[in-house]
Chain A
Amino acid sequence: MKLSRLLGLIGLAIFGLFIIGPLYITIVTAMKNINEVFTIPPKLIPYTDFEPSSEAFDFIFNTRGKYTFITSLIVASTATAIALIPSLLAAYGFSRYPRAAMNDERSFFTLLTLRMVPPFAVVLPIFLYWNQLGLFDTYPALIWTYTVFSVPLAIWLLKGFVDEVSPSIEDAAKVDGYGFLDRLRRFVIPMLGPALAATVALVWLFLWNEFLFALKLGGSRVVTYTAYLPQLRVGQRVQWNVLGAIGVLGAIPPLIILILFRKYLIRVYLGR
C-alpha cells in the first residue's frame, strides 16, 4: 500500500471517529435508564455492560414530548411551503431576466447576506416585533420568521436549477400558445422535478434543525422538539437519556431525506 493512501485512510478513520463517536454515544445513552447514564466508567456496550431500557422513549411518548415533533413538523413544513412560491418566482426572474432593473450581482448578493447574518444578531428585535403584535409564542410568528429566513436560500438554490432549463424550451411553449403560469406549471416545474424536491428538502431540513428562533420566539405554547431540549431536567439533573432519544428520533427525517436526495444534495453542495 502506498504511503499517501495509508495516510489518507488514517485521516479518514480519525474523521470517522469524530462523526460516529458522538452518534454512538447518543444512541447508547438513549437506551439507558437515568441511573446508568451517570456511571463511571461509562457503560458503552448494550446487553454486555448494561440491559437496554425503554425508559427514555417511554418518557417522550407519555409526555408532551411527542407533540413537540408534531409542532416541528407543522412549523417547518408550512414555512417551507409558503417560502417556495415567492422563491420560485424570484429565482425564475433572476434566471430569465438578467437585464431587468435591479437584477444584478449586488441584489443577488444582498439576498444571500440575509442568510449570512448570525440569527443571534436579529433574534431580539424580531422577538420584540412579535411581542408588540401580541403574537409572541404563536404558530404564525414562528412560521413567518422561518419563511422569511428560508427565501434567500431557496432562491439561491432554485436559480441554479432554473438556469439549467433551456430558454428555448419555454420559447417552444410560447409558440405552442402557453401563457406564463401555464409554462411554469406544465414545463418549468416538471423539468425542475427532483431538483425542486431537493431544494424543498434542504430548506425543510434547516428549519427542522433550527434551534435559536424556536427557543426565543416560542417555548411554552409553541414548542418544537429542539426548543423542548433545554426543558429536560428534573431538579438539577439533566435527563440525558431523553435528550439522546430525542436526538435519535429527530435524526430520522434528515436521514430519510439524505438517502432520497443524495444525488441532488451533492450537486447543491458542490455547486454542480
Chain B
Amino acid sequence: MKRFLPTIKLVDICKKSNGAIILKNINMEVPDKSLYVILGPPRSGKSALGRIIAGLDTPDTGRILFDDQDVTNLGPAERNVSMVFQDFALYPHLTAFDNIASPLRKLKLPKEEIRKRVLEVAEYLKISHRLTHYPSELSGGEKQRVAIARALVKGAQIIILDEPFVRLDYKVREDMRAELYRLQKDVGVNVILLSSDPVDAMSFSENIAFMRDGEIVQIGSLTKLYDNPKNIFVARYIGVIEMNFIPAKIIQENNRKVLDTGIGKIALPTIPQLSENEVLIGVRPEHICIEEEGGPPHAGNTFTIEGRVKITEVIGSETIVHLDVGLTEPIRILIPGIYKKNPGEVLKATFNISNIYLFNVNGLFICKGGDILG
C-alpha cells in the first residue's frame, strides 16, 4: 500500500467566524510521510485548521499547497484527504462493513473490488469479526477502528484525526496510540493529529505545532518544546504536571548578579540580555527532589526551599506533593513511587539550578539555568 505523499504547505491562512478571528496568519509545512501533532488547548483553533486542511472549510485568505499544487478551493474528496472525527461520525444506519465501504461506493467501484479492499483494511485494523455489526453495537475502540478504516480504505494521502483519543478509555487509548504509530509506518500516509492532550505530543514527538488563540506559537520536536519553550504557556502545557513559577528580582550583591525570590537567593555568574530587573523562574515538578533527613547532600549548584506539605496526590505510580513555601501557589513536586506525607509536615525540596527556566515578565522565554552556568 505505498502511496505518493505530498508535502502540505499552509501560507498565511486566516479565518474569521461570526466576527471573531479564529485563525491568524498560519504558516506551516507538514513534511511528507510524517506524523504531525497540532497541539493546543480547547478552542485554540486546531479543529478549524484541521477542517481547512481537510477541505471542509475554506480559509478567508491564504493558500493551501500540496507539493506545489494549489488545493485551496478543492473539496476533501478532490484533495484525497480523509478525516476521523472526535465522535467518530459513523453512519448509524449502516453496518461497519457499509461504513467502511462508503467512500468506495461513491467511487462506483465494482462490488468485488469494494469487498476485497474493505476486508483487507478491516483485517489490518483487527475488526474483521465485527463487520456485520451496527455502530451502536461496537465498543469505543472498535468504533474508532472502523472510523480509521473508512479513512484509510480509499487510499487517502493525508489522514486528519480530530481529538481521536478523547472518547476512549485510558487503556484503549494506549492501544490506539500504538496502532496509529504502526499504521503511519506501515501504510505510509501523512497523519495529522489534532490534540489537546500533551501526552499525545509526548507519544508522537517528532513534529509538533503548538497553537493558542488561533496562532501557531511554536513548531518543533518535543525536545525543543520541552527544553526551549517559546513562552510560559508552552512551558506550562508541555509536561505531565504543570511547571512551577517563582517570581524573582535581579539584584546586585557583592558584585554578583543574584536572583532574589523572597524565599531564598540564587547567585548567577551572568544573566544574558536582560533589560528587565524582574524575571519568572520556572521549575518543572519532575526536576525537584525531596531531601530526606540524613540523605546524601545534593551535588552541584542547587537551590533548596523549605515548606509545609499541603496535600499529596498519588497518580498511578507517582506522587505529586504540593508544598506550601510561602508563595501564592504551592510548589508541585513529582516523585516516583507512592509517597505518603501528612499535611503540615515540614519538608525540604531541592532542585538543580541548571534545570530552571527563566522568563521575562511578559512570559517570553529567556534561557535555561544551564545556559547561564555554562
A-side residues, CB < 8 A to B, are 99, 166, 168-169, 171-178, 182, 187, 190-191, 193
- Return chain B residues, CB-CB under 8 Å to A173: 91, 102
> For residue A171, which residue of chain B has the nearest CB?
B56
Task: List 21 A-B pairs, Cβ < 8 Å.
Answer: A99-B18, A166-B87, A168-B85, A168-B86, A171-B51, A171-B83, A171-B85, A172-B83, A172-B90, A174-B75, A174-B77, A175-B56, A175-B81, A175-B83, A176-B102, A177-B107, A182-B106, A187-B93, A191-B91, A191-B92, A191-B93
- Return chain A residues, CB-CB under 8 Å to B54: 175
- Please, how many angstroms separate the alpha-carbon atoms of A173 and B85 in the complex? 11
User: B93 touching A193 by the CB < 8 A rule?
Assistant: yes
User: B89 touching A172 by the CB < 8 A rule?
Assistant: yes
User: A176 touching B89 by the CB < 8 A rule?
Assistant: no
- Return chain A residues, CB-CB under 8 Å to B102: 173, 176
- Return chain B residues, CB-CB under 8 Å to A182: 106
- Return chain A residues, CB-CB under 8 Å to B83: 171-172, 175
User: A187 touching B89 by the CB < 8 A rule?
Assistant: no
- Please, how many angstroms separate the alpha-carbon atoms of A99 and B82 in the complex? 27
B96-118 contact mask (Cβ, 8 Å, vs A): 1 or 0: 00000011001100000000000
Of B86, B92, B151, most buried by chain A (CB within 10 Å of CB) is B92
- Please, how many angstroms separate the alpha-carbon atoms of A175 and B93 in the complex? 18
User: B93 touching A178 by the CB < 8 A rule?
Assistant: no
The verdict on B31 contacting chain A, using a C-beta distance below 8 Å, is: no
Q: A169-B91, A176-B154 are in contact. List 11 more A-B contacts (CB 8 A).
A: A166-B87, A172-B83, A173-B91, A175-B76, A175-B81, A177-B103, A177-B106, A177-B107, A187-B93, A190-B93, A193-B93
User: A174 touching B103 by the CB < 8 A rule?
Assistant: no
- Please, how many angstroms separate the alpha-carbon atoms of A166 and B167 in the complex? 16
- Please, how many angstroms separate the alpha-carbon atoms of A174 and B154 in the complex? 14
The verdict on B150 contacting chain A, using a C-beta distance below 8 Å, is: yes
User: A177 touching B89 by the CB < 8 A rule?
Assistant: no
- Please, how many angstroms separate the alpha-carbon atoms of A176 and B81 in the complex? 9
Enumerate the 3 nearest inter-chain pairs by beta-carbon distance, A residue then B residue, closest first.
Answer: A177-B77, A172-B89, A168-B89
User: A166 touching B89 by the CB < 8 A rule?
Assistant: yes
Q: How far is the CB of A40 from chain B (nearest CB, A)?
A: 60
- Please, how many angstroms separate the alpha-carbon atoms of A187 and B90 in the complex? 11
- Please, how many angstroms separate the alpha-carbon atoms of A172 and B154 in the complex? 13
Q: How far is the CB of A97 from chain B (nearest CB, A)?
A: 12
Given A175, A190, A191, which contacts B82 in the complex, CB threshold below 8 Å? A175
User: A176 touching B77 by the CB < 8 A rule?
Assistant: yes
Scan residues 10-46 of chain B and give those whose CB is less than 8 A from a CB of chain A.
18
User: B106 touching A178 by the CB < 8 A rule?
Assistant: yes
- Return chain B residues, CB-CB under 8 Å to A175: 54, 56, 76-77, 81-83, 103, 151
- Please, how many angstroms separate the alpha-carbon atoms of A64 and B86 in the complex? 61
Q: How far is the CB of A191 from chain B (nearest CB, A)?
A: 6
> For residue B162, which residue of chain A has the nearest CB?
A168
Q: How far is the CB of B262 from chain A (nearest CB, A)?
A: 51
- Please, how many angstroms separate the alpha-carbon atoms of A74 and B93 in the complex? 32
- Please, how many angstroms separate the alpha-carbon atoms of A203 and B18 in the complex? 36
- Please, how many angstroms separate the alpha-carbon atoms of A182 and B107 in the complex? 13
Q: How far is the CB of B104 from chain A (nearest CB, A)?
A: 9
User: B103 touching A176 by the CB < 8 A rule?
Assistant: yes
- Return chain A residues, CB-CB under 8 Å to B154: 176-177
> For residue B101, which residue of chain A has the nearest CB?
A176
Given B18, B51, B85, B107, which contacts A172 in the complex, CB threshold below 8 Å? B85
> For residue B75, which residue of chain A has the nearest CB?
A174
User: B86 touching A176 by the CB < 8 A rule?
Assistant: no
- Please, how many angstroms separate the alpha-carbon atoms of A103 and B150 in the complex? 34
